[in-house]
Structure 1
Amino acid sequence: MLGWLKKAPAVPRLPEHMIAKMYNIFRIRTLMGIFVGYAGYYLVRNNFTLSTPYLASEYGFTPSQIGLLSAAMAVTYGISKFFMGNLADKAHTQRFIAIGLLLSAIVNIGFGFSSSFALIFMLLIFNGMFQGMGAPPCSIVMANWFSKKERGVKMGIWNTSHNIGGGIIAPIVGIALGIFGTAYWQAGVFIVPSILAIIIAIFVLFCGKDTPQSVGLPPIDEYRNDYDDVERNPEGDKLSLKEILFTYVLKNKFIWFLCLANVFVYFIRFGVLNWVPLYLTDVKGFTQSQYHMAFAAFEWAAIPSSLLVGWLSDKLFKGNRMPLCIISMVGVILGTLVYWQSTSVLAISIAISVIGCLIYVPQFLIGLSAIDFVPKFAVGTTVGLTGLFAYLFGNLTASALVGFIVESSGWNGCFILLLVSGVMASLFLTLIQIGRKKQIRKLAANA
């Protein structure tokens, strides 16, 4: 790794009277940096979904081809998230985030000048690779700057960033198309979001800091006297990436349960989100403005739920994240049934909002649990592994498999898979809930 991107070294501790003030300043700055930065990632990720009607009408791409394009992004992003997460454990987090966003924006500019299937496919692979530099270092920032008893609230705030980024992209594209016209849809869908992402990348680069120790502050658990329920190793930062992966991640059964639950959660998320434009226009008869509103509602509805759930998981459930996950999955299953069977524009729009509101709850809390279940020096690798499963298996099947199913047997097969995924996700989340309760009791007895 380039020296400029390496983890910032610890510096001498600041005087005691300065610590509280500087902690407050840097925590606000770092949270702002990852919030705005990760929203920027979604400006140059979700915009591709809004291009699918134009890819079909202007370039003649079939549903299976569009599914393969989405799958290319999903597979590359999942693999990249794992490897980039592993690298991020040794990286300067803010710089890592900013560089990834900048490179993703440059790739999106390339989309604006591409029309062939092969070239778009190749660019999506590059975009997926650079997109993997976003989430893992953001999770590391959360682990480094916020302790367990406050992490749910702060993670809930950060988690809304991708809903805001994913939610505002449709209005941004709509305004840009109004200015440039549909004849120049590439500018509205790809170029404008890329310019905004570049500006955000520059902001992130100068906003936050790497770790508290790198600016003369004590570790967050020491500062707040709030320690995670995990094995602690003072020499953890000296371990190799391989040692971190095999000792603290792959041997943890709860991380595997999180990975499997994440597969089914992501299948539902992208099985709905990726196909909203085509399904609503082809089957439900929605207009362009109606499906743009439904697409945005899927993301916007998750904002209040993320904030509320983060607070509830900290205050009411005392760091136990799984009950809220299971409750939310029941609501997702019911919302999916309405989305499938209803013919009312209003009811379908509400159902999409409900699915968006609730599907991000287990996704958010699975990511938060990945932070809770391992030491801080293994957070990036763990988040990367859960992301690998989510995108390599969940998003991939939601992108490629759904396209082939729709072409061969219609949309009913897609919705059956969505409902089965809801049940399977609930099963693995329940196994985590039962197992973690036993583990915590055992840790308390041995303390």
Structure 2
Amino acid sequence: MASRIQEYIYGGPEQSDKERAKCSVTMDGRIILTAVLTFVTYVMYHAQRITFSGIAASLKEEAGFTATKLGVMSTGYMFAYAIGQFLCGRFADFVRPKRALVWGMLACAVLPIIEGFLGSSGCGGTGGCYGLWTILRISEGLFQATGWTCTVAIMGNWFPSEGRGLIMGAWSTNSNVGDIFGLHVSAAILESSPWYVALWVMAGLMIFWTFVNMIFLRGTPPPLSLDWQYKEAEATQVDQEVSGTYASFCQVLCIPGLMLYSSCYLFIKLVNYALFLWLPFYLSEGIGVDKSLANLMSTRFDLGFIVGAVLAGLLSDVTSHWAGMPMRSPVVSGFLLLSLLPMSVMRFSTNPDTIKWAIFFCGILQGGPADALTSAVSVDLGKHPSLQGARATATVTGIIDGTGAVGAAVGQYMVGLLSDQLGWKSVFMFLLTCLALAFISSLFRLHKELRDAKEARMNGFLGTCDSESSEASDTFEQYA
């Protein structure tokens, strides 16, 4: 049934001209379908992830968990997620992204179901039950890593480098949409049902969307079915959905710019997750803002993140078009430099009206580079000419995002330690230092890309001059 539906949409596995003419869906329709399916997929991943945060208070009040035990589980989850990014990216390129995505979604659905049954049977945060919960949370971190690596790889297969920044920037707001959706669903359920029902509902939604992907999603476009495929990767004549090769790990590590971008993202994600998870606590405990108002003020960071992702994507398309090649480091470096200003305001100001705008601009200026690195830049590097068409996008995405997840896990420990020992001012000095290090890391890549773009434009200019002089010479000889 699934193969028939896919043939109905995509026109058959071989995609001959005759089969394409029989397609029920236009090529633009297929591209939009892929974007919508992958967008909602990661909404489901993030909604399930945030649901656990939504029920944390209930776990503490009703299931015997302490704040320390919840913190240990969250730290284990983050480190498992970091390791999972490296492993799942490699796994997705090996078995193909769609397969890895489907298996990962099913695993992500099964684990909360088990947690729900533990909660309904009274097995909570005491004794051996706590150990079982910790194991389940660590396993969730591993399988949650399949979401971003696989969906970014699939999007990279369907969209060309031209305009990729804006498209991926808008698409990568799915995590923010997932947070909003997950918190609203869990809040609605908690009003009338036990906390473990929220886990079951999100698991049910995840299973439903898994089957939707199995039926309707195609991980790659059929070979040479898109106009841009003729201009880009030489291996497009191979249908990577059913065959094709994957790059070796050494090949991936040798991609120019990968390690610099990864180190840059380590510091960016450290700062972003520190603000995501600690802002409400800082606003209420650090400067005395009411708890409900603190939560509302914190949502400005999410809103800024969405604006920054789209804006950075658009600007990176402009710089790439000017250079005639993917060049996104000017936007990353520029945003990081400007982000030092609102972060400095948060360090020195205690005025809630001033801080709420500083939070918003932090979201814009830190969210832009973050989403650019984990989406458009990851796809650019995963399609690098040195790979000769071999699958590598999921591995590249996993390396960049996994490195960032390590930073986020370390950052959680450092923020807690510094706030207890030295106060919140020291926390913001630490975050300012991390932003400065991220900016310095991006400068090395910026210098390389500007030099390459200058050489390419100079070569293009000389080639044009040679062509024009050759034509003039031919004309002169003709009249002579």
Task: Give the TM interval when normalised to the shorter protein.
Answer: 0.7 to 0.9
The one-letter amino acid of 1:373's match is L
Structure 2: stretches of 5+ with no match in the other structure = 1-9, 384-388, 464-480
Q: Contact 2:86/2:395 (CA < 8 Å) preserved in 1?
A: yes
Q: Deviations over 1:148-198 (max 9, x none)?
A: 002112212211111211233333333333344xxx44545x444434333
SS at match of 2:191: helix
- Separation (CA, whole Å) in 1 of partners of 2:110 and 2:288: 35
Separation of aligned partners in 2, 1:298 and 1:70: 21
Q: 1:254 to 1:399 in 2, by over 3 A?
A: same
Q: Which residue of 1 aligns with 2:331?
A: 324
In structure 1, the residue matched to 2:405 is 391
1:372 aligns with 2:376: no
Partner in structure 1 of residue 469 of structure 2? none
TM-superposed deviation, 1:66: 4.5
Aligned to 2:40: 36
Counterpart pick for 2:16 among 14, 17, 24 = 14
Match of 2:50? 46
Q: Do the aligned partners of 1:49 and 1:274 also contact (CA within 8 Å) in 2?
A: no
Check the 8 A contact 1:143/1:371 in 2, yes or no.
yes
Residue pair 1:37, 1:97 contacting (<8 A) in 2 also = no
Tell me the distance in 2 between the aligned counterparts of 1:251 and 1:295: 39
Do the aligned partners of 1:170 and 1:295 also contact (CA within 8 Å) in 2? no
- Kept in 2: contact 1:26–1:209 (CA 8 A): no
In the aligned structure 2, how far is the partner of 1:397 from the partner of 1:101?
A: 27
Which TM-score applies when normalising by structure 2? 0.78
Alignment of 1:130-169 (within 5 A): 130-169=143-182
- 1:308 corresponds to 2:317: no
Q: How many Å separate the matches in 1 of 2:142 and 2:380?
A: 26
Taking structure 1 as reference, are residues 70 and 302 closer, same or farther at Cα in structure 2, changes over 3 Å only? same
Match of 1:3 in 2: none
1:199 aligns with 2:212: no
**Aligned-partner Cα distance in 2 for 1:340–1:172:** 35
Q: 1:339 to 1:196 in 2, by over 3 A?
A: farther
Aligned positions of 1:25-424 closer than 5 A? 25-52=29-56, 59=64, 61-62=66-67, 65-112=69-116, 113=119, 115-116=124-125, 117-180=130-193, 184-188=194-198, 190-213=199-222, 217-218=223-224, 220=226, 223=228, 225-227=230-232, 244-247=248-251, 249-315=252-318, 317-318=320-321, 319-367=326-374, 368-375=376-383, 377-392=391-406, 394-424=407-437
C-alpha offsets along residues 338-379 of structure 1, whole Å, 9 cap, x if unaligned?
334443444433333322233221111112212212435211
Offset, 1:284: 3.6
Query: How far 1:77 moved relative to its partner?
Result: 0.9
Q: Displacement, 1:14?
A: 2.3
In structure 2, distance between residues paired with 1:292 and 1:397: 24
Q: In terms of Rg, which structure is larger?
A: 2
Question: In structure 2, do the counterparts of structure 1 residues 73 and 104 end up closer, same or farther at CA, with 3 Å as the change threshold?
Answer: same
The corresponding residue for 2:466 is: none
Which residue identity lines up with residue 433 of structure 2 in the other structure? Answer: V
CA shift, 1:73, in A, is: 1.5
Structure 1 residue 145: Cα displacement: 0.7
Does the C-alpha gap of structure 1 residues 197 and 349 become closer, same or farther in structure 2, counting only changes over 3 Å? farther
Q: 1:246 to 1:234 in 2, by over 3 A?
A: farther
Q: Which residue of 2 aligns with 1:432?
A: 445
- Residues 109 and 279 of structure 1: is their aligned pair in 2 closer, same or farther, counting only changes over 3 Å? farther
Change (3 A) 1:34 1:71: same
In structure 2, the CA distance between the partners of 1:239 and 1:441, relative to structure 1 (3 Å rule), is farther
Distance across 2 between alignment mates of 1:406 and 1:49:
21
Determine if contact 1:145/1:211 at 8 Å carries over to the other structure: yes
- The 3 A distance-change label for structure 1 pair 106 and 141 is same
1:378-429: CA deviations, max 9, x gaps?
111111111221112x111122332333333333332222111100111111
SS of residue matched to 2:100: helix
Q: Distance in 2 between matches of 1:191 and 1:351?
A: 38
Identify the residue that residue 471 of structure 2 maps to in structure 1.
none
Contact 2:269-2:408 at 8 Å conserved across structures: yes
Shift of 1:226: 4.2
Q: How far apart are residue 311 of structure 1 and its match? A: 2.3
TM-score w.r.t. the length of structure 1 is 0.83
Q: Distance in 2 between matches of 1:414 and 1:50?
A: 25
AA paired with 1:307? Answer: V
Q: Distance in 2 between matches of 1:96 and 1:378?
A: 14
Q: Tell me the distance in 1 between the aligned counterparts of 2:155 and 2:421.
A: 44
Secondary structure (helix, strand or coil) at the match of 2:157 reads: helix
For structure 1, which runs of at least 5 residues remain unmatched after alignment?
1-7
CA distance in 2 between partners of 1:411 and 1:132 (Å): 31
Aligned partners of 2:97 and 2:219 also within 8 Å: yes
Tell me the secondary structure at the aligned position of residue 433 of structure 1: helix
Q: Which amino acid aligns with 2:32?
A: I
Q: How many residues matched?
A: 425
- Is the 1:163–1:299 Cα contact (8 Å) retained in structure 2? yes
Distance 1:442 1:412 in 2: 45
**CA contact 1:149–1:226 (8 Å) conserved in 2:** no
Q: Deviations over 1:105-125 (max 9, x none)?
A: 332344442632533322221
More displaced stretch, 109-118 vs 355-364:
109-118
Name the residue aligned to 2:473: none
One-letter amino acid of the structure 1 residue matched with residue 224 of structure 2 = P
CA contact (8 A) 2:229 2:236 kept: no
Which one has more relative contact order, counting CA pairs under 8 Å at least 6 apart?
A: 1
State how far apart, in whole Å, the 1-side matches of 2:365 and 2:400 are. 19
Provide the rounded CA distance (Å) in 2 between the counterparts of 1:245 and 1:101.
25
Q: Check whether the contact 1:105–1:197 (CA below 8 A) recurs between aligned residues.
A: yes
Deviation string, structure 1 residues 87-131 (Cα, Å, up to 9, x no partner): 211334334324323322332344442632533322221111111
* SS of match in other structure, 1:90: helix
Greater CA drift, 426-435 or 398-407: 398-407
